[in-house]
Structure 1
Amino acid sequence: MIKARVTVTLKNGVLDPQGKAIEGALGALGFDGVGHVRQGKVFDVELEGADKAKAESDLKAMCEKLLANTVIENYNIFVD
């Protein structure tokens, strides 16, 4: 079994209102010095019966088709 983590984040230049809200809330909670917050998504995926190369290929296809909106988001794949 192959375990992987896919991290999806907004591309630079794309407005991130949720990140801005988190940034403001952290300041209101007394966490000084927080300059910039961007939010994202993390997917932990287990693939059975695949080798590392096939897993990476399949995960890329999953990101391109479902997990990420590639117009406004970037993704990174980490395979254990």
Structure 2
Amino acid sequence: MKLRVFVTLKAGVLDPQGEAVRHALGALGFEGVNGVRQGKMIELDLAETDADKARAQAHDMCEKLLANPVIESYHIEQA
């Protein structure tokens, strides 16, 4: 089963990469971009065929490795 995990910084956590992208967009002439938050998408191809079990595995992976739950949030979607 294929799942996608989207990891983003929690609200209130500074995002220097997002700010650099916002600044670069302004320098390229893209006006009106008030903010940019950068994240990551991870695609998992799991051998598990049961959707609930696959989602539970992905949740465990996020809590242990893929995301830092102190400063990041994540959500999981079926691909």
User: TM-score under structure 1 normalisation?
Assistant: 0.94
The alpha carbon displacement at 1:30 in A equals 0.7
5+ residue gaps, structure 1: none
After TM superposition, the runs of 4+ consecutive aligned structure 1 residues lying more than 2 A away are none
Per the alignment, residue 19 of structure 1 pairs with 18
The alpha carbon displacement at 1:49 in A equals 3.3
Per the alignment, residue 7 of structure 1 pairs with 6
- Residue type matched to 1:59 in 2? A
- Residue type matched to 2:55 in 1? E
Structure 1 range deviating more: 41-50 or 14-23? 41-50
Per the alignment, residue 63 of structure 1 pairs with 62
Per the alignment, residue 38 of structure 1 pairs with 37
Given that 2:22 and 2:33 are in contact with CA atoms closer than 8 Å, whether structure 1 keeps it comes out as yes
- What is the Cα-based RMSD across aligned positions, in Å? 0.8
5+ residue gaps, structure 2: none
The alpha carbon displacement at 1:32 in A equals 1.1
Work out the CA distance in 1 between the residues paired with 2:48 and 2:23: 45
